[in-house]
Structure 1
């Protein structure tokens, strides 16, 4: 799947819908690994770090 550009809201959050699995979140040269492990609504924190 190609990269998708998203923008955070005023609280620094973004809502996504996707399949279970592993994802990468990137911003410029920062990255975070994110896992969607449970079906249904959930909250996942992503801390972006230097690659």
Structure 2
């Protein structure tokens, strides 16, 4: 599993994907964690989605 911290313009994001699928064209899920919580607090949801074969941003 790859968890990469990136910045899209001025927005910090986490990019989560299975290492074996990193270069593949796979479905993408934009996961909005809400305004009152940190992206790291909901990482387990993104991790489980990535285990199902999708790229999570």
Taking structure 1 as the reference length, the TM-score comes to 0.32
Taking structure 2 as the reference length, the TM-score comes to 0.30
Higher helix share: 2
Structure number with greater CO (CA < 8 Å, separation at least 6) is 2
